[in-house]
Structure 1
C-alpha cells in the first residue's frame, strides 16, 4: 500500500489523525503509552488536546506508530518567502 499524506492545519486534525493511527494498528492507549514513555491518562489527554503535545512527544508518537512528520509549504497560494536559519 502506498504511503498516504494528511495535510494538517489544526490541532484538532492532529488529534484525530493520531487517534486513528493508533486504532488502525490495534493499539490501546496503554500499549502506546508504554512505547512512548507516557502514562495512559496522558495519552488520552493528548489525543483530545494535541495542542498540548511537545515536539519531542509528537516525534516519539510518530515513531511508535510508524508515521513520518513532514513540514512543507502550502500549495496553491502565493510563493512563501524563504526561511532564514542559523544552521
Structure 2
C-alpha cells in the first residue's frame, strides 16, 4: 500500500478507507477480526457504521493494517504528538 495520506471529513469516509485498506492487504473481515479481537460481524458493522467505532478500536484497526493515524490542521502538516504549549480546551 502507498504512503499517501487521505483527509477524512465524515465517518462514512473512514469506514470506506478502512475497508479499502483491509482489502488492499488481502484480508477478509474474519482475518482482521482475529487480529483485533472482534467478531467478523462487528468488523462488518463498523465498516458500514464507523461513527460507532471507539478510539481504541480505531487504533487497533490501524495497527493491524499498518496504517498511521495523524491529526493536523486542514491544509497543514500533522501536529506534533508532544505539543509545545497547552491547548485552550
Deviations along 1:23-54, one digit per CA (max 9) or x if unpaired, are 00110000000000000000000000000000
- TM-score between both structures, scaled by the size of structure 2: 0.83
Q: Structure 1: state its 5+ residue gaps.
A: 77-81
Size of the aligned set, in residue pairs, is 81
Question: Structure 2 CA distance, aligned partners of 1:56 and 1:68?
Answer: 14
Q: In structure 1, what is the Cα distance between the partners aligned to 2:86 and 2:16?
A: 29
Unaligned 5+ runs, structure 2? 77-84
For normalisation by structure 1, the TM-score amounts to 0.85
Q: Given the alignment of the two structures, is residue 30 of structure 1 paired with residue 33 of structure 2, yes or no?
A: no
Residue number in structure 1 paired with 2:18: 18
Aligned ranges 1:3-82 → 2 under 5 Å: 3-75=3-75
